[in-house]
A and B are shown apart, each in its own frame.
Chain A
Amino acid sequence: MSALLTVEDLRVEFDTYGGVVQAVRGVSFNVEAGRTLAIVGESGCGKSVTVQSMMGLIPMPPGRITSGSAKLDGAEILGRTRIDGTSIRGAQIGMIFQDPMTSLNPTMTIGAQIAETLQVHRGHSRQQALARAVELLAMTRIPEAEKRAAQYPFEFSGGMLQRSMIAMAIACEPAILIADEPSTALDVTIQAQILDLLRDLQRENGMSIILITHDLGVVARMADQVAVMYAGQIVENGAVDEVFYESAHPYTLGLNDAMPTNNPDAEQVLTPIDGSPPDLFDPPKGCAYGARCPHTMRICGPNNPGAFDLSPSHYARCWLHHPDAERRVDGITYREAAS
């Protein structure tokens, strides 16, 4: 299957008073049609900036996309809002955000906000668009959709607002839905409902999802592919089983140990990762994880590791996978030397 979206060597920086922040430093990934890619990593590692640059949402200035490409069905979309006469934002790619409470216009009815997407991209009349908005609300399982469409955001609960956001984002049947921590601001049961809804919608209309989250439980439940980000780079990328059960990067292992599991039989000791991510004003020359990695080697300081393939769908950016690396670390999965 060829990729629907291909991102290559994306680099984004921001001018700030403290200097230039290198928020995203050469990120590449693919999204397959109808599949879900999860992007995980700790706060500030560049997850939001990565997806926002595809949506043209990076404020410029202070932001700057210094290199890279993002191709949707082969057409370059980076830094553009339209491809060949069709718009990207809202039409080809829909997006939902972390905080549904503040992400909707407080003085516009829910129905009108959903309808707006259709008026803008499909040239629907207001009446037509509003009628479709009611259908979309019903699709996201909001009861009494007709009545609800005429209400304002403050009359909705957080979960319902996020459903409305989803209705808005999928109104034009986008090929990709980007969900930036869609359930973080909601309580646990509502979280589960929102995730189920996303999965069901995906099954019905075959869209791809890019899901950003901190929560490995959410990843296990939703994702086909996982990209683990650290300090503006993807340090491990693979199918969900590969990344979880054949983790190849010390950071991924650390993340796993720091997360509680749902398995009550597991005798698990939670181990936080010591230290903090590197300064993105002046990122280290070598491996960004070096300062926190328990397995640092001499080569790690001065040299940034490239991507080492473990399988056609799985790679890790870590010197431990170099053929000349002497140590074998427990827990790290190595490519069995077949070649």
Chain B
Amino acid sequence: MGRYALKRLVQGAITVWFIATATFFAMHMVPGDPLASDKAVSEKIRANLEAKYGLDKPLLTQYGIYMGNLARGDFGISFTQENRRVNDIIREHFPVSATLGILAVVFAALGGILWGALTALNRNRMPDIVIMLLVILGISVPSFVFAALGQLTLVNINNLLGFSLLPVAGWGTVAHMLIPSLVLGLGTMAYLTRLMRSSMLEIMNSDFVRTARSKGVPAPRIFTHHQLRNAILPVITVLGPSIAVITTGGFVVEIVFAIPGLGRYFVQAVQQSDYTVIMGTTVFYGAFLVLMVIIVDLVYGLIDPRVRLE
């Protein structure tokens, strides 16, 4: 297990290096110029700025410097926000995005497992039919629509009640977090529900569940000890990629609900060609996702002994 974890971490580091390199060159290949804003008035100031950021050096040298800084965990200084270090931006805003994302993943995973198991156990009966209809809706509607609809509904409810049941936008308390993370996790929850349902149906008909019945194990114990544990394995496998889906979806939800997360900065940075912020957040997100996938795989190993010993 320890060796496996180490191997995965090394693989992960290589992936992150790859992401960083690709981002760097992509960045320098797209048209646009971070200094094209109104600040760079004269040629002289421009030259100074280029020197400051190292933009006057050959591309490969820039790459070397950039990678060297990255290795030390230094993402550089923002082009557009005076003297603001990218590290500070991430430190300040990433926890907000992470909280939102993790809550959404928890909602999606718990909901998916619960609804999936429930529909499978009630196959072709009312709860199954209703939930599976909602699931189709959940999968086909994009998260920004849910975000807008969620917010609108909340506004209407608050109006109807005459007081603020839950805040409509902003960040800070648990009450702020509930609706945005639910909205963010909804699509994934629908997807996981469908996955869990089919996995559960397969397990319910499996030989080892029949064995458990033949041993006289009561149904609730069969559910917890034999069906659930085996049925969630496919759900855990896709949890890694799901985290990626949710994190990127988070950018939009953050904007709709005015949440001060990293996503907003990222979108802004792209609009202003703020090289260092774009690269910093991209690499950071990349590393975060890689780490999540590794953690998910290790958790999988804890549940499935076949992976643990390979």
Contact = CB atoms under 8 A, between A and B. Distances in A.
Given A108-B225, A108-B226, A120 B210 contact: no
Interface in A96-139: 97, 99, 102-108, 116-117, 120-121
B214 A116 contact: no
B305 A103 contact: no
A88 to B, nearest CB: 7
B215 A116 contact: yes
Interface in B130-187: none
Contact of A90 (B206, B217, B226): B217
B212 interface: yes
B230 interface: yes
Given A105-B226, A106-B306, A107-B303, A89 B213 contact: yes
B221 interface: yes
B18 interface: no
A169 B226 CA distance: 17
B25 interface: no
A95 interface: yes
- Please classify the interface of chain A as helix (H, G, I), strand (E, B), loop, or mixed, using the class held by over half of its residues: loop
A55 interface: yes
Contacts of B211: 97, 103-105, 165, 168
Contacts of A105: 208, 211-212, 225-226, 230
B71 to A, nearest CB: 40
B33 interface: no
Interface residues of B, number: 23
A78 B214 CA distance: 14
Nearest to B217: A120
B216 A90 contact: yes
Nearest to A87: B216
Interface in B214-242: 214-218, 221, 225-226, 229-230, 233
Contacts of A91: 216
B207 interface: yes
A334 interface: no
B305 A120 contact: no
Contact of A97 (B207, B221, B303): B207
Contacts, number: 78
A106 B305 CA distance: 8
A57 interface: yes
A117 B216 contact: yes
Contact of B214 (A57, A106, A152, A154): A57
B230 A90 contact: no
B230 A88 contact: no
Contacts of A152: 305-306
Interface string A166-184: 0011000000000000000
B53 to A, nearest CB: 54
A91 B212 CA distance: 13
B261 to A, nearest CB: 37
A6 interface: no
A158 B210 CA distance: 18
A304 interface: no
Contact of A57 (B210, B221, B304, B305): B210
B303 A89 contact: no
B306 A116 contact: no
Interface of A: 55-57, 81, 87-91, 94-95, 97, 99, 102-108, 116-117, 120-121, 152, 154-155, 165, 168-169
Interface of B: 206-208, 210-218, 221, 225-226, 229-230, 233, 303-306, 309
Given A97-B211, A102-B207, A107-B304, 8 more contacts: A87-B216, A99-B207, A104-B211, A105-B212, A108-B225, A116-B215, A154-B306, A169-B214
29 contacts: A57-B210, A87-B216, A89-B214, A89-B215, A90-B214, A90-B216, A90-B217, A94-B214, A97-B214, A102-B206, A105-B211, A106-B230, A106-B304, A106-B306, A107-B229, A107-B233, A108-B225, A108-B226, A108-B229, A116-B217, A116-B225, A117-B215, A117-B216, A117-B217, A120-B217, A120-B218, A154-B306, A155-B309, A168-B211
